[in-house]
Amino acid sequence: MPAVQETVARVREIDVDQYKYGFVTDIESDRAEKGLSEDTVRFISAKKGEPEWMLEWRLDAYRRWRTMVEPNWARVDYPPIAYDELYYYSAPKSTPGPKTLDEVDPELLRTYEKLGIPLREQEILAGVEQRRVAVDAVFDSVSVATTFKKELAQAGVIFCPISEAIREHPELVKKYLGSVVPTSDNFFATLNSAVFSDGSFVYVPKGVRCPMELSTYFRINEQNTGQFERTLIIADEGSFVSYLEGCTAPMRDENQLHAAVVELVAHDDAEIKYSTVQNWYPGDAEGKGGIYNFVTKRGDCRGKNSKISWTQVETGSAITWKYPSCILRGDGSRGEFYSIAISNGRQQVDSGTKMIHLGKNTTSKIISKGISAGRSQNTYRGLVSAHRKATNARNFTNCDSLLIGDECGAHTVPYLEAKTSTAVFEHEATTSKISDDQKFYCLQRGLSEEEAVALIVNGFVKDVLQQLPMEFAVEAQKLISISLEGSVG
């Protein structure tokens, strides 16, 4: 869907949410104290009206988190995060939001313009105060969302905020939450487990092909879930679901630290396709104010012949730390990872994937395209491992980096571990640079420098773009050229 529509959709969601639940949160009076303690966790759990077991689960994670240290092996560099200075629930604005668009980073506004986003929506995206505007859109969108919900319900698909699932479908949540990413998994995942705000829950029953792409278009509670989002998707035997996350319009957020967890479970013969376009605010030219994005995404191909594929277009954030992974447990299961990671300005990206082959005849494929421009650093970090019992494990990895300019960096860090001699891992990697001669050739044919770079870059990422659902791909393509603006000349 075009950016404008996507934004309209987003604006609508905000109001759908209010309408549906009949409250407008008075942020000032409805928030946890600054910092993180058991009380904060209890507060969050109580606010969500959670059952006791959920609270215990969170507290367990919290206690564990207190004993952990932040990882520092990634090739990213940022000032220490003062965890006790953060708000963990309904974070109020630490500084008053901009009063008008005049106070917003002009670069951000320029991007909105390029995406063709109308003024009023720009205000909302940029977090200008008095954001509740699109009232006229409410009724319309409620009916749209209701239609979708009805159709999904008919198919037996459960798609709701995870907070709702905890109340309405405790047996499913209990069974699957933390079963892919254990609460003890890593520093950021553990933090998320203690304080996660909300996110999506999807359950596709046996043999059901989900009748539509599940996108953020009608996802509820979007506005409050940004910081510590938790998503759980379960595809039961023989089912299929395609889930789209993200938005092409850059979103500002008062919360600098983001630590999401996404868990996917695919049973026998089931398939999950998870696509992301990530475009968080990368910060101004100096890198100030950008989002730190520490994400744990993991899919468990639990059943035989199951399949999980991750497709991602990463263009935003000041820091991205993200390794969507597949555990290939079921015999004959398949994992795929298609990624475009773009860094510009002073962005730092450390991203990649892990393919853990446990079952027999499991296959995985990794196509990673990293583009670095400006003074950014872009690292691909990938692990492919085959367990002793994973006979005939197959992996194909293709990892290409493209450099634009002389001040950026691209790094490839592949880890390969095969404990069975029958495993076959293929790894291809290239690093190239857009040469001045190539650029001149394009200019001589009448292309502007920016058009030339966009053309070359689009050629470079084509294989991955093709993996995205059509409308998303078109949007992503536009987004890629915008992300690289200012990287030439």
Partner 1 sequence: MLSIKNLHASIEDKPILRGLDLEVKPGEVHAIMGPNGSGKSTLSYVLAGKDDYEVTEGSATLDGQDLFALAADERAAAGLFLAFQYPLEIPGVATMTFLKAAVNAQRRARGEGDLPTPQFMKLVREKADGLGISTDMLKRGLNVGFSGGEKKRNEILQMALLEPKLCVLDETDSGLDIDALKVVSEGVNALRAQNRAFVVITHYQRLLDHITPDVVHVMAKGRIVRTGGPELAHELEARGYADYVGEAAA
Give the number of residues in contact with partner 1, rule: CB under 8 A. 22
Amino acid sitting at position 268: D
CA distance 298 to 182: 11
Q: How far is the CB of 432 from partner 1 (least distance, A)?
A: 8
Footprint on residues 42-71 left by partner 1 (CB under 8 A): none
- Partners of residue 370 on adjacent β-strands: 341, 401
Nearer to partner 1, 318 or 468 (CB): 468
CA distance 483 to 114: 11
Residue whose entry in the numeric block shows the structure tokens 């277009």 = 313
Nearer to partner 1, 142 or 447 (CB): 447
Rg (CA), the chain: 22
* Among 255, 257, 285, CA closest to 106: 285
Q: Which of 79, 80, 445, 470 binds partner 1 (CB under 8 A)?
A: 445
Nearer to partner 1, 213 or 463 (CB): 463
- Report whether 386 contacts 357 (CB < 8 A): yes
Can you state the angle between helices 449-465 and 470-483, rounded to 10 degrees? Answer: 140
Q: Which of 447, 478, 481, 485 binds partner 1 (CB under 8 A)?
A: 447
Residue length, the chain? 489
- 421 interacts with partner 1 by CB under 8 A: no
Q: Which of 28, 130, 436, 470 binds partner 1 (CB under 8 A)?
A: 436
List Cα–Cα distances, 330 to 161, 192, 235, 444, in angstroms.
Answer: 29, 28, 14, 54
Nearer to partner 1, 103 or 407 (CB): 407
Nearer to partner 1, 271 or 400 (CB): 400
List Cα–Cα distances, 398 to 224, 257, 309, in angstroms.
Answer: 37, 31, 15
* Among 12, 2, 4, CA closest to 142: 12
Stretch of 84-92, 345-353, 355-363, 438-446 lying at the interface with partner 1 (CB under 8 A) = 438-446
Q: Which of 21, 23, 415, 441 binds partner 1 (CB under 8 A)?
A: 441
Neighbour tally for 116: CB within 10 Å: 12
Q: How far is the CB of 253 from partner 1 (least distance, A)?
A: 34
Stretch of 166-174, 212-220, 337-345, 447-455 lying at the interface with partner 1 (CB under 8 A) = 447-455
Q: Which of 383, 438, 478, 485 binds partner 1 (CB under 8 A)?
A: 438
Q: How far is the CB of 429 from partner 1 (least distance, A)?
A: 15
Q: How far is the CB of 435 from partner 1 (least distance, A)?
A: 8
**Mask 449-488, x = binds partner 1 (CB under 8 A)?**
x-x---xx-xxx-x--------------------------
- Report whether 197 contacts 223 (CB < 8 A): no
CA distance 157 to 214: 11
Residues that bind partner 1 (CB under 8 A): 432, 435-438, 440-449, 451, 455-456, 458-460, 462
